Amino acid sequence: GAGVSQSPSNKVTEKGKDVELRCDPISGHTALYWYRQSLGQGLEFLIYFQGNSAPDKSGLPSDRFSAERTGGSVSTLTIQRTQQEDSAVYLCASSIRWGTNEKLFFGSGTQLSVL
């Protein structure tokens, strides 16, 4: 597609349930990023993929969070046993490659609400 696509756009779940968030990056972009945006806060880096590998997972808030990327394209962010503090907008971004001059293109995000 022309831009980064994320689904679902909104997700309401009950505390303790697992959720999967999907990101389709721009075709040809090798780098993919997940960020979390809480109300009134800046963007918090979660994880980064170069191809299918994630060199740095240190931004993931806890071991309940995991992410994978297959075929160098689609990525899934999974949150297990969701907690109310997980409620936030989860943003995905892609770029042609990583480097000092890359530019990120963001999707519209998934608004996650944990009741």
Partner 1 sequence: GQQLNQSPQSMFIQEGEDVSMNCTSSSIFNTWLWYKQDPGEGPVLLIALYKAGELTSNGRLTAQFGITRKDSFLNISASIPSDVGIYFCAGRSGGSNYKLTFGKGTLLTVNP
Site residues for partner 1 per CB under 8 A? 4, 31, 35, 40-43, 45, 48, 56, 59, 91, 93, 98, 100-101, 103-109
In the complex, least distance from residue 62 CB atom to partner 1, rounded to whole angstroms: 18
In the complex, least distance from residue 33 CB atom to partner 1, rounded to whole angstroms: 8
Here the tokens at position 36 are: 């979390």
In the complex, least distance from residue 111 CB atom to partner 1, rounded to whole angstroms: 8
Reported in sequence order, the residue ranges of the chain that DSSP labels E, i.e. its strands, are 5-7, 10-13, 19-24, 31-37, 43-50, 53-56, 65-69, 75-79, 88-95, 105-106, 110-114
Task: Give the residue among 30, 113, 36, 13 at the shortest CA–CA distance from 75.
Answer: 30
Closer Cβ to partner 1, 4 or 79, answer by number: 4
> Are the C-beta atoms of 57 and 45 separated by less than 8 Å?
no
Closer Cβ to partner 1, 13 or 111, answer by number: 111
Closer Cβ to partner 1, 80 or 104, answer by number: 104
